[in-house]
Amino acid sequence: MGYMSEEFAPEIQENYGDLILGFICKCLEHNYPKVQYKGALCIQNFETGLAEYKDKQIKIMDKYIDQILGSLGKIFENSLSGMSYIMLEAILDTISTIAQYNSFDRFYPTFMPGLKKIISIIGTDTQQKIMIRSKTI
């Protein structure tokens, strides 16, 4: 679904955006981390597909931004407490993509404590940890 959102943008977002984002929101609330991970990646693709068509002013994300970032906040906290580096990297990428194209200022208090925690506790002894720290900054 995520790749289709890039390949068939902006038509797929205009015509099926509610259906797609509704499904992605359910993925983010799923109990299995792998499903949550794939949902986060789909959001990146959905947003990236829209980025090329800014002039069309497609505002489909506005309806879902609270729910998506609320779910991502929970996943972020769980990933941080469990030190799930793969999930942290995906969430950081997704948050970055969302913040790039949407109003993110009201979610700053939700994510900033965790971002500060990443900088303070994650070292630089592996390439993956370096990448996570870089994405955090």
Query: Which residue range forms the structural domain that includes residue 73?
Result: 2-136
pLDDT at 7: 87
pLDDT at 109: 92
Residue type (1 letter), 15: N
Question: How many of the other CB atoms lie within 10 Å of CB of 13?
Answer: 22
Count how many domains the chain has: 1
| Residue-level pLDDT at 5 | 87
Q: How confident is the model at residue 56, as a pLDDT?
A: 63
pLDDT tens for each residue of 35-68 = 999 999 999 999 988 887 776 656 788 899 999 9
* Per-residue pLDDT at 55: 63
Token pair of 53 as six digits: 């068509």
Spatial distance between the Cα atoms of 96 and 94, rounded to a whole number of angstroms: 5
Q: What is the DSSP secondary-structure string of 80-130?
A: HHHT-HHHHHHHHHHHHHHHHHS--GGGHHHHHHHHHHHHHH--SSSHHHH
Given a cut of 50, the residues of the chain with pLDDT beneath it are none
What's the pLDDT at 57? 57
* pTM of the shown model: 0.90
How confident is the prediction for the chain on average, in pLDDT? 91
